[in-house]
Amino acid sequence: MTPRVRRVAIIGVLCFGAALAADNLEGLRGPTPLNQEPKAPRMATVENFDVRRGRAYTSQPPTIPHAIDRYELTRNVNFCMYCHSRVRNEEFGAPMVSATHYMDRDANFLAEISPRRYFCTQCHVVQTDARPPVDNRFIDVYDLVEQEQQVADPPAPAAKEKKE
């Protein structure tokens, strides 16, 4: 092959590869080609059912079971703590923020919410009716451990009935 022919061949292979990749390209934006604008998906509705959801793993910040759009959360005002602080939660029937929220980074307990936990929505999100845009293949660690135990120690086969 002359260098020129080789160059053309390489470009050809690259283009073919790119075309293949583009065909399979289906990210969060869906199958719309990159040079077109897809229709914006419907915005998820915030649920306000007061039903606490379970947690997928031990250290998961629980989701917020109520709407928060009217609660001010700024540098000067933290309205969440109006209900969730230790001193007021009882009055509102709200769960108290856990002790970790009062700890500084040296694990000392403070009288007020720790600056590390001041902006609640950094970690806690409202509950919505959004559908996951991609498959969720998360496996709970509890199920993982159970699966491993079954592999290590399979259940005994059912005892055969004795012939008389």
Least spacing, CB of residue 108 vs ligand HEC, in Å: 16
- Hey, what amino acid is at 149? Q
Least spacing, CB of residue 145 vs ligand HEC, in Å: 21
Residue among 100 and 149 whose Cβ is closer to ligand HEC: 100
CA distance 62 to 25: 34
Query: Minimal CA–CA distance to 98: which of 68, 58, 69, 66?
Result: 58
- Known binder of ligand: residue 70? no
- Known binder of ligand: residue 80? yes
- Known binder of ligand: residue 101? yes
Residue among 46 and 94 whose Cβ is closer to ligand HEC: 94
- DSSP-based helix, strand, coil % in the chain, nearest 5: 30, 5, 60
Residue among 26 and 112 whose Cβ is closer to ligand HEC: 112
CA distance 80 to 65: 13
As given in the structure block, the two tokens for residue 24 are 């399979």
Residue among 29 and 79 whose Cβ is closer to ligand HEC: 79
Least spacing, CB of residue 76 vs ligand HEC, in Å: 14
- Give the three-state DSSP class for 64: strand
Please report, as ranges, the residues that interact with ligand HEC according to CB under 6 A: 50, 52, 59, 61-62, 64-66, 68, 71, 73, 78-84, 92-95, 97-98, 100-101, 113, 117, 119-124
